[in-house]
Amino acid sequence: MNDLASLVESARADFARASASAELEDAKARYLGKAGSVTEQLKALGALPVDEKKARGAEINAAKQAIEAALVERRADLANRQLEAQLAAQSLDVTLPGRNRGTGGVHPISQALERIEAIFASMGFEVADGPEIETDWYSFTALNNPENHPARSMQDTFYVDLEDDEGHWLNLRPHTSPMQIRYAQAHARRHAGAATMPDVRVIAPGRTYRVDSDATHSPMFHQVEGLWLGENVSFRDLKAVYLDFMRAFFETDQLKLRFRPSYFPFTEPSAEIDLMFETGPLAGRWLEISGSGQVHPQVVRNMGFDPERVIGFAFGSGIDRLAMLRYGIDDLRLFFDGDLRFLSQFAGT
């Protein structure tokens, strides 16, 4: 084998050994680079006698082309191999079972809330939303809660270390009752000066907060406030409305209500509403579900109405309690743990 043939041979072997493109380019430099063996051969041509130059030049060029061809081929090889490795690494097994997107569901409390809103809407009640950070005027004072009433105490109310522009302390509302005042005030303003005023008929559901935590109490819980005020709205209407509500909510007429005398500063008279199922696993037990009463004249005044003309009733019920009874849940905390094993049982109900 002459020297050029062995040069081509050794270039092919070097290229074949290069397993990455950087190595291949290094090998290329050794042959075709500025100081590469082929280049050296071409430089050496100058020293040859004229008659040998032509033939030798043609041989070197042929060797150079052979090396270049080997280089191009090896480059393509390496690129192919890299692509194959990449494809193998990212391989997609189309026979694997698909990943489930998972269907969401409405939280049981939200489901209860939606039922309550639909039931009261069907009885002509508006649905109102209000602030969860309240002033103590709306949370207590306007509701006829005396300055030193224990309900205001630090023990069960979350106070925020801030006052509003008028110097009222802010708190996380401990009940939805402030919405009675807010909604009725807005209603009074809206109809100020009119010859007749339509009844105030509203429910205000939402989150409420108290320092309280065990299986049946959570520091954040849900209430729905109800208020119906007009010229001739009485306790009798409260009984009828609440009984209809309960029958619709639990989808049964097999239940009874009991209005048990109680005390709230914002109602007079006041009553706890107790519920008893006549059938089912809870049959025969009185369950306390709501506070209620005839709205106190002072509260009617604070709303902006004349208590000599406007009377009515209010109630405040625990939504979580109603949802627990409807779904047969014995620990309130389950609602707020976010455990999908629990929550998924309500998806699609």
Residue 315 binds ligand DAH, judged by CB under 6 A: yes
**Cα angle 196, 181, 224; round to 5:** 110
The smaller minimum CB distance to ligand DAH, of residues 41 and 144, is found at 144
- For residues 293-312, which are near ligand DAH according to CB under 6 A? 293
CA distance 164 to 83: 67
Considering only 177, 197, 209, 324, the residue that binds ligand DAH (CB under 6 A) is 177
CB of 180 to ligand DAH, least distance (A): 6
Tokens of 23: 């190595």
Please report the DSSP string for 281-294 in residue order. TTTT--EEEEEEEE
Inter-axis angle of helices 21-32 and 50-89, nearest 10 = 180
What whole-number distance in Å separates Cα of residue 115 and Cα of residue 310? Answer: 29
33 vs 269 by CB, closer to ligand DAH:
269
183 binds ligand DAH (CB under 6 A): no
Alpha carbon distances (Å) from 331 to 58, 116, 216: 95, 21, 6
With CB under 6 A as the contact rule, the residue among 292, 310, 321, 332 that binds ligand DAH is 292
User: Of 267 and 302, which has the nearer Cβ to ligand DAH?
Assistant: 267
Q: Which of 15, 264, 277, 346 binds ligand DAH (CB under 6 A)?
A: 264
Closest CB to ligand DAH among residues 15, 264: 264
User: Using the rule CB under 6 A, which residue among 175, 187, 201, 222 binds ligand DAH?
Assistant: 175
Q: How many residues bind ligand DAH (CB under 6 A)?
A: 11
| Choice between 235 and 342, CB closer to ligand DAH | 235
CB of 225 to ligand DAH, least distance (A): 6
Nearer to ligand DAH by C-beta: 175 or 321?
A: 175
If binding is defined by CB under 6 A, does position 206 make contact with ligand DAH? no
320 binds ligand DAH (CB under 6 A): no
CB of 346 to ligand DAH, least distance (A): 26
Q: Rounded to an integer, what distance in angstroms lies between the CA atom of residue 212 and that of residue 329?
A: 19
Q: Does 36 bind ligand DAH (CB under 6 A)?
A: no
Are the beta carbons of 129 and 166 closer than 8 angstroms? Answer: no
Q: Give the closest residue to 247 by CA, choosing from 233, 238, 257, 260.
A: 257
291 binds ligand DAH (CB under 6 A): yes
State in angstroms the smallest separation of the CB of 170 from ligand DAH: 18
> If 0-12 CB within 10 Å is exposed, 13-18 middle and 19+ buried, where does residue 98 land?
exposed
In angstroms, the CA 318 to CA 321 distance is: 5
- Are 228 and 239 in contact by the 8 Å Cβ rule? The answer is no
Q: Which residues bind ligand DAH (CB under 6 A)?
A: 175, 177, 225, 264, 267, 291-293, 314-316
